[in-house]
Amino acid sequence: MESAHAHRKDEHLSLAEAEFRRHAPVSSLHQVRIIHQGLPETRVANVDLTVDDPIFNFKTPFYIEAMTGGSQKTGKINAQLATAAKETGLAMAVGSQSVALKDENAIDTFKVVREINPDGFIMANIGAGHTAAHAQEVVDMIGANALEVHINVAQEVVMPEGDRDYVWQDELANIIQTVSVPVIIKEVGFGMAKETIGQLRDLGAQYINLGGRSGTNFAVIEDRRNRAMTAEHGYLYDWGQTTAESLLEAQLVADAPTLLATGGIQDPLDVLKAQILGAKAVGVAGHFLHTVLNEGTDGVITEIQRWQNHLAKLYAMVGAERQADLQHVQTVLSPELKNYIDQRR
């Protein structure tokens, strides 16, 4: 019989899929319009999608931002996603490995990712409440190339068995300084404000994932786990900053860490818009998870390849042959988004 923590992993998976089906995410990046230019003077054949970063120099600027691992069911999905990552050359992050620190039966559900994809770029994952020793342990567990440390106060508040201690900064600094691989500090769907980004910069963070609202909503998911009262924290369902808002917040921070973004990414145009607003690479969780659950490994491979093909064409359409060219692309913000960022300046 699997542990309670493993069961929680299965609940997260089933509820995330149920919410995706019930309320298909609408990307906050719809509030960003790209100004069309009819003479881009580019060729699709000349486009190079490689991420302009010495560490995260992925050949494709989007990656699998997984939520899986920790139970037998989610371990099988990790294996499917790892196969897709290997076949398409995508980087991949696993779900939180905290469960594997307490339950050795869960370890293989994460290790399978490295076993299937021995040469791929894989990111380990642990919560901010853990020590640097635990952080190194999850990195070693899967031979990770990088580590995501997720900060998730709003999720913990709603989670019945969630943490109630959010004093994290000192240990985050220790993790950043001592873990053997690059560290990404990541939100889980509630976004980041300029103040938080500045605090993370001052702690020594070189990479952050803004993890904005508009994708998988863990406040909703944790409330759905409470069968006695399924909307007890309904007032928190729109808590936090969207992905678009978070990207604009980051533009207000001097010497901000290198940005990654995730949260409601639904298509290659969302990837392009996030990059134009400053993200080096873009994580995709819910959409690829939904695809693999409904269309299997071959289905998600086909979907990833379609995105890769379309993104190259989108680059060419906006006059970009490489990531650095995107800084010249002009955008217009919706009145709501423009009002938001004007108030935050």
C-alpha pair distances (Å), 5 with each of 99, 182, 224, 249: 6, 27, 16, 35
pLDDT of residue 153: 86
Q: Please name every residue paired with 260 in a beta bridge, in sequence order, or none if there are none.
A: 209, 281
Residue 259 DSSP one-character state: E
Distance CA 341, CA 62 (A): 26
In the predicted model, is pLDDT for residue 327 greater than 70? yes
Q: Which residues are annotated as a binding site for substrate?
A: 8-9, 155
Angle separating helix axes 107-116 and 132-142, nearest 10 degrees: 50
One-letter amino acid at 201 equals R
Three-class DSSP category at 242: strand
Query: 10-24, 106-120, 129-143, 326-340: which has the minimum mean pLDDT?
Result: 10-24
pLDDT tens readout for residues 194-209? 999 999 999 999 999 9
How many domains does the chain fold into?
1
Q: What is the DSSP string of 201-235?
A: HHHT-SEEE---BTS--HHHHHHHT-TT-TTTTGG
Q: Which residues are annotated as a binding site for FMN?
A: 66-68, 96, 125, 186, 216, 285-286
pLDDT tens readout for residues 107-150? 999 999 999 999 999 999 999 999 999 999 999 999 999 999 99
E strand or H helix at 186: strand 183-187
Distance CA 219, CA 158 (A): 6
Domain span including residue 297: 4-344
**pTM of the complete model:** 0.94
Question: Are the C-beta atoms of residues 206 and 257 closer than 8 Å to each other?
Answer: yes
pLDDT tens readout for residues 37-57? 999 999 999 999 999 999 999
Interval 224-244 mean pLDDT: 80
* Average pLDDT over all residues of the chain: 92
Q: Which residues are annotated as a binding site for Mg(2+)?
A: 156
Phi, psi of 242 (to 5 degrees): -70, 170
Nearest to 268 by CA among 211, 310, 316, 330: 310
Interval 209-213 mean pLDDT: 95
Nearest to 222 by CA among 6, 8, 1: 8
Q: Which residues are annotated as a binding site?
A: 8-9, 66-68, 96, 125, 155-156, 186, 216, 285-286
pLDDT of residue 225: 66
Question: Are the C-beta atoms of residues 27 and 246 closer than 8 Å to each other?
Answer: no
pLDDT of residue 67: 79
First and final C-alpha spacing in the chain: 53
**What is the Cα gyration radius of the chain?**
19
Domain with 151 in it: what CATH number? 3.20.20.70
pLDDT of residue 231: 75
Distance CA 182, CA 93 (A): 13
E strand or H helix at 138: helix 132-142
pLDDT tens readout for residues 270-313? 999 999 999 999 999 999 999 999 999 999 999 999 999 999 99
